Amino acid sequence: MLGGNRVAAHGHGPSCAPSGARVLRGGAFKLRSSPYAFQGLGLEGLNLLAAARDETGLAIVTEVMLECDVPLVAEYADILQTGSRSMENYTLPEAAAQSGKPILLKRGMVATVLDLLRSAQVILNNGNPNVILCERGIRTFETAMRNTFDAAGIAFLKQVTHLPVIADPSTQQGATIWCRRWLASASPPALTTSSSRCTPIPTRHGAMASSRWASRNSTP
């Protein structure tokens, strides 16, 4: 899975095809930390992603931010992403689940592993077994980087759930001037701990496959 976190111009996808990638990501709608930052191209961005899919043959994953936008985004995307800021806005995962498209669920920046699994369970409860969990880093007291990569959390998720787990190390850098060098160092731990599966395997189990751990950590 390759691509920038936002779609800003034509030619977003062709350079990714020779890399062996199978999925192209890009944000047509972007929920940003600052209201002054670029918010995405909207429908124009979706059209650019569709053109990139036609040109490269790669599947498209893009974020949906509002329940009312789910039908529109589902027309263009092969995978719907629920971003870290929307993970616990349960009405959005519910609406995305009902689209029938696979859901890429990103862990919230201050969410625990159990919080992530609860959100995944919301999607499963709405009849969609195709959930991909994504570790993207969490906020800690560390100031040298924007987010702290939770490699142990990935390993733990793989032990307690049947759902596939992937990692996105691109949101953890601080200054963009050393972003590429940092990613080169951060990616090996992600590859070591994260799942290589891209397609979820539907089962009759819930998000927390380890019932002993789930009962010990569940809330009323």
Q: Give CA–CA dist 202/208, Å, rounded.
A: 13
What confidence tens digit (pLDDT) does each residue in 110-124 have?
A: 999 999 999 999 999
Closest among 159, 130, 169 to 1, alpha carbons compared: 169
Instruction: Specify the pLDDT at position 148.
Output: 82
Tokens of 37: 């930052």
Which domains can be identified in the chain, with CATH numbers? 64-217 (3.20.20.70)
Eight-state DSSP code of residue 39? -
Percent of the chain having pLDDT more than 90? 35
DSSP string covering 104-161: EEEPPTT--HHHHHHHHHHHHHTT---EEEEE--B--S--SSSSB--HHHHHHHHHH-
Contact indicator for 25, 62 with CB cutoff of 8 Å = yes
Least confident range from 19-28, 31-40, 63-72: namely: 31-40
Longest dimension (CA), the chain: 50
At 33, is the pLDDT very low, low, confident or very high (cuts 50, 70, 90)? low
At 147, is the pLDDT very low, low, confident or very high (cuts 50, 70, 90)? confident
At 11, is the pLDDT very low, low, confident or very high (cuts 50, 70, 90)? low
At 177, is the pLDDT very low, low, confident or very high (cuts 50, 70, 90)? very low
CB under 8 Å to 204, separation ≥6 — which residues? none
Instruction: State the virtual CA torsion across 69, 70, 71, 74 in degrees, nearest 10.
Output: 120
Is residue 26 over pLDDT 70?
yes
20-34, 142-156, 196-210: range with highest mean pLDDT? 142-156
Q: What is the mean pLDDT of the segment spanning 177-201?
A: 50
Single-letter code of the amino acid located at 55: E
Q: Give CA–CA dist 5/2, Å, rounded.
A: 9
Instruction: Specify the pLDDT at position 182.
Output: 54
Contact indicator for 205, 213 with CB cutoff of 8 Å = no
Instruction: Specify the pLDDT at position 7.
Output: 72
Q: What is the mean pLDDT of the segment spanning 18-43?
A: 73
Instruction: Specify the pLDDT at position 178.
Output: 46
